[in-house]
Structure 1
Amino acid sequence: MSDSSTSGASSAPVDPETLLARRSEARTWFEALRDRICDAFEALEDAAEPGLYPGEAGRFERTPWTRGDGSEDLGGGVMGMMHGRLFEKVGVHVSTVYGEFSADFASRVRGADHDPRFFATGISLIAHMRNPHVPAVHMNTRYITTTLNWFGGGMDLNPTQDYQRDEAFEDAQAFHAAAREACDAHDPAYFEKYKAWCDEYFWLKHRGEPRGVGGIFYDHLDSSDFDADFAFTRDVGEAFLDIYPQIVRRRMDTPWSEADREEQLIRRGRYAEFNLLYDRGTKFGLETGGNVKSILSSMPPEARWP
């Protein structure tokens, strides 16, 4: 799907004071959502059955980072990582970065071709689960300003077992229903449009197959109504925080076999391929001098290419 079919109206001019307030409001929301997600994931760690998940329950370790060489303020973020007994590897990160795009990158970013200055704040997470029957998941939402401003993001479910990789399976249905509810509260056309964009975006072209069972993906959301677009973005985060823990609790007590684990590791390889070949967030982070550890923390802790 091309950018032009989803970008909406061009941003109306915003006075500097209002723009600063919007940036602060978005950043504060993403950081608060991070805290709530981390709390929910740690509660699931605590609830994991010791017989299936021996050892100490995991806890997030937060590591601040700054962008650039320190000679000027270019922003930064906090990398939040947990290696637990239920969550084999999960990263919940927030960042707020600003400065100027390189000339080459600016030519490819909406609203930056004539003025390379930018601001970006957001949350990004990926959870790789120890139990092969608990689907992996990805979610991110962000607010970006150049000479224009917009929201983007989404959430998508990534089961590692073939029997779960069907939109008719109950986990996929529940995940999509949560996304639909968030969309329908704002525009009845959103869900089908953003679901189709998700299916197209998370498609492994070189293999001719989807990465997971989808969800929603949107970018360049700019209706010229900041409050409405921000409210939708918040509801996407709320939908994720509500539905994913439900799915984890539904599957976390299911025993697994070595064959299940083998299938999981092969499917994780597909996830790694997408992130390295196609993912916009990975490319954006690397091309804007983001924290490499945080950017590549989305990679699975173990994968296999038989």
Structure 2
Amino acid sequence: MGDYMAEPITGYSELKEHASNPESERYIPSCMEMYIMSLQKSLCDELATIEGKEFTVDRWIRPTEADGSLGGGGITCIVQDGQVFEKAGVNISVVHGTLSKQAIQQMKSRGKELFGESVPFTAMGISSVIHPINPFIPTIHFNYRYFEIPGENKQWWFGGGTDLTPTYLNRDDAKHFHTTLKTACDGHDKDYYPKFKKWCDEYFYIKHRGESRGLGGIFFDDLDYVSAESALSFLKSCGNSVAPAYIPLVKQHINEPYSDEEVQWRQLRRGRYVEFNLVYDRGTKFGLYTENARIESILMSLPLTARWEYMNKPGPRENELLEVLKKPVEWCSE
């Protein structure tokens, strides 16, 4: 499959048929699946060129029950122990099933109206976390997804976001990153960037530490108040902005020298990353609550290594980052 990293989870001819017919009930999910497949391919190609090493491709199929209540699968693409990236993963998943009781409760807490104890769903998305080796190259995370509850009371929504988690503060990096995301948002609605930046700042917050996970970006969920076509178009703009927002930062810092002390600080910051993902992240929780979930793919976001050091005393350069993490910055206004 030259256009994709592997054969689509849904048959390629079936996808093309529905994606070319706006009247089809599967038009939006088929367009979404084809898009995340192509985005995965383009990003993996760029990262592999930088790394000088091809991604390992793992196409997996979810166990299917006899009544069809579970099914689907995904494609996990990953590089580990590289020269540039300690761990870089770009995943897609296309699954369907029945929501667990925990997932139903989680969605109801967000104001979703779900009827009955057995709630079917279809979900698909792309997610990526890139943990570089060089402490001066920031970690990036992005996730874009479509969720649908079919049937008489059909519901659908889009969600996702992109955010940056550096080890050391570089204001120019932050401005470039946020400006690129703002440009993608402004092409659809001038209110999107300030609204979704604020949401990102509030979401990626480690309450027990009193600090943000990183320098933020954009984050949104439950996007269902515009047409599905408009929402998908916006999501594509966000997805297409990931490479131009991030790849220049990798190339700028790839050969920057660093010390063992700076690596140790990187490890401590990765510990904070792990804390957020395991304690607060909704996507991680939803995955772990889902029956027959693929744990390897869900926990792909975690770094290979991290560190928790008792009573660490950061130096002046490290404190510069910590001060910014205590209060969000309007990077596009600096």
- Alignment equivalent of 2:267, drawn from 265, 268, 271: 265
Secondary structure of the residue aligned to 1:254 is coil
Other-structure match for 1:68 = 63
Superposed CA offset, 1:74-108 (max 9, x none): 11111111112101101100000111112342243
Identity %: 40
Secondary structure of the residue aligned to 2:92 is strand
Other-structure match for 1:82 = 79
- Distance (Å, rounded) in 2 between the aligned partners of 1:102 and 1:17: 31
One-letter identity of the residue aligned with 1:95: S
| Pairs within 5 Å for 1:211-222 | 211-222=213-224
Secondary structure of the residue aligned to 2:167 is coil
Secondary structure of the residue aligned to 2:25 is helix
Give 1:224 deviation, angstroms. 3.8
- Distance (Å, rounded) in 2 between the aligned partners of 1:82 and 1:19: 37
Structure with bigger RCO (C-alpha 8 Å, 6+ apart): 1
- Alignment equivalent of 2:90, drawn from 92, 96, 110: 92
- Alignment equivalent of 1:152, drawn from 151, 159, 184: 159
Report whether the alignment pairs 1:174 with 2:169: no
Report whether the alignment pairs 1:255 with 2:260: no
Change in Cα spacing, 1:232 to 1:253, as seen in structure 2 (3 Å) is same
One-letter identity of the residue aligned with 2:76: M
- Alignment equivalent of 2:42, drawn from 31, 36, 46: 36
One-letter identity of the residue aligned with 1:149: W
Change in Cα spacing, 1:269 to 1:230, as seen in structure 2 (3 Å) is same
- Alignment equivalent of 1:45, drawn from 51, 57, 67: 51
Report whether the alignment pairs 1:129 with 2:132: yes
Instruction: State TM-score, norm by structure 2.
Output: 0.79
Other-structure match for 1:204 = 206
Q: Is the 1:155–1:216 contact (alpha carbons within 8 Å) kept by the matching residues of 2?
A: yes
Report whether the alignment pairs 1:138 with 2:141: yes
Other-structure match for 2:24 = 18
Could you tell me which runs of 5 or more consecutive residues in structure 2 were left unpaired when the two chains were aligned: 1-21, 310-334
One-letter identity of the residue aligned with 1:153: G
Change in Cα spacing, 1:80 to 1:101, as seen in structure 2 (3 Å) is same
Could you tell me which runs of 5 or more consecutive residues in structure 1 were left unpaired when the two chains were aligned: 1-15, 47-57
Structure 1 moving runs of 4+ over 4 Å:
69-73
Secondary structure of the residue aligned to 1:18 is coil
Q: Is the 1:124–1:140 contact (alpha carbons within 8 Å) kept by the matching residues of 2?
A: yes
Q: Is the 2:28–2:229 contact (alpha carbons within 8 Å) kept by the matching residues of 1?
A: no
Secondary structure of the residue aligned to 2:106 is coil
One-letter identity of the residue aligned with 1:40: E
- Distance (Å, rounded) in 2 between the aligned partners of 1:135 and 1:304: 17
Q: Is the 2:88–2:129 contact (alpha carbons within 8 Å) kept by the matching residues of 1?
A: yes
One-letter identity of the residue aligned with 2:207: K
Q: Is the 2:71–2:97 contact (alpha carbons within 8 Å) kept by the matching residues of 1?
A: yes
Query: Larger deviation: 133-142 or 101-110?
Result: 101-110
One-letter identity of the residue aligned with 1:96: V
- Distance (Å, rounded) in 1 between the aligned partners of 2:133 and 2:114: 42
Q: Is the 1:106–1:113 contact (alpha carbons within 8 Å) kept by the matching residues of 2?
A: no
Query: Larger deviation: 82-91 or 100-109?
Result: 100-109
- Distance (Å, rounded) in 2 between the aligned partners of 1:296 and 1:34: 18
Q: Is the 2:182–2:193 contact (alpha carbons within 8 Å) kept by the matching residues of 1?
A: yes
Change in Cα spacing, 1:61 to 1:17, as seen in structure 2 (3 Å) is same
Superposed CA offset, 1:18-67 (max 9, x none): 33121111011001100000001011113xxxxxxxxxxx3211112222
Change in Cα spacing, 1:69 to 1:149, as seen in structure 2 (3 Å) is closer
Instruction: State TM-score, norm by structure 1.
Output: 0.86
| Pairs within 5 Å for 1:262-301 | 262-289=264-291, 290-301=293-304
Superposed CA offset, 1:195-252 (max 9, x none): 0000000000000001000000000011241111101000001111222111111111
Secondary structure of the residue aligned to 1:19 is coil
- Distance (Å, rounded) in 1 between the aligned partners of 2:39 and 2:94: 14
- Distance (Å, rounded) in 1 between the aligned partners of 2:299 and 2:229: 32
- Distance (Å, rounded) in 1 between the aligned partners of 2:141 and 2:212: 14
- Distance (Å, rounded) in 1 between the aligned partners of 2:255 and 2:233: 35
Once superposed, what is the RMSD of the aligned Cα atoms?
Answer: 1.6
Q: Is the 1:111–1:148 contact (alpha carbons within 8 Å) kept by the matching residues of 2?
A: no
- Distance (Å, rounded) in 2 between the aligned partners of 1:28 and 1:138: 21
